[in-house]
Chain A
């Protein structure tokens, strides 16, 4: 049987009993000074955490950064800006743009026979079936027959590889479709346009030299006029 500690305590050792009691008493006193909440949380009695800070509200200055500069305000339409910059780079004179612009009454239209001269490779001619207007990505679809096989080529008109586009023959009547895909059908197929292009290139070769001479003459005449004007002003 187990007996309580008190009964087992020998009566002769009162001194030790009192000593134990004194230690216990000290602890008790300590417990009363402890924070009640800390004790209730079954924390170790000798907690060395610092006491909670006094709840006096001090205004700490938090550094606030200004909002980042708005890219939208700086450039409202970046894609248009890039397109414009590319256009000035690829088509500095604007001649190519004018050749396919809607506002130009003399522009190349679907149904016309066009000749595309390239930097590397032979020129390709064909009936323009479609003009896909997309800014710098504008392309034209040409159809021709080579060795009795129909061939269609898409060319980007602002491509650096395309050195020149010429209108060989205009369509007699304006096409009433934007896309002449019906020309793929045998009934509407124009066949080869080589003969028309050959005649055109021969005529152009003849006129080209004469035109160049005329240009040179007119240039000289203009120069003379300018000189005369200059002289007049001096006098």
Chain B
């Protein structure tokens, strides 16, 4: 029974490791479903984390306990604006989208650290005084077992992430907007013929991906790192990208994949508590998430087909 207890105790950790990944992966889903590859998720997270932290530090006195929520919003908006760069390059200027994404990643880190030095005089910001705190959901946390697993000692941001994922699924699959967005990513010429404005749809999708990745970055900064430096976001954006593909470009698939990564990451942190894992060197637990992902891709998931027009700029009148 001890195993089950520890498993239950681990769940809050899984939830909070997953939240930034869920947000960011959803951003990836929107962008790629519209046909724009977004390797820049990592950089967009950096912008989200940076602006969230800076806003938090400078306005904590004004907004008090409300600050982290506003910081989240600021992170999302800032990254949304930043993503315009990718949109302009990828949609209007027919850039190689992978390349433009790589540029976004480099620029975000360079700009973030440059500004941090300008503002704080060193490569790292101060720690924020108004982070998110873990909460127990009233009533729901009293439910035996499930309450302990999912509703106590967690951040509200995780629940928001899950809600946004479901919302994302609804928007993509149950609304006319979602249908158009997917059409643009599968066959832009056909979509264009039917009167859908391909350029506009892609711009919206890329900006949405920026907003969501910004939310992800800010969530990470405001719940886990609590300050910003050049190494704050180190690879989470790429993990989110992996979650997009692992989840087969589906919002709920990405949600599941993000949970899986969160689970694997937590396992490497608290794995030694489990009796049957106690003798396994920490190294194996550390690489487990990555090895499991490769194995899963090779065996279970197999062929994952991207949206047909993913990565292709749409040039009017071309066949």
* A and B form one complex: no
| Chain A residues near B (Cβ < 8 Å) | none
| Chain B residues near A (Cβ < 8 Å) | none
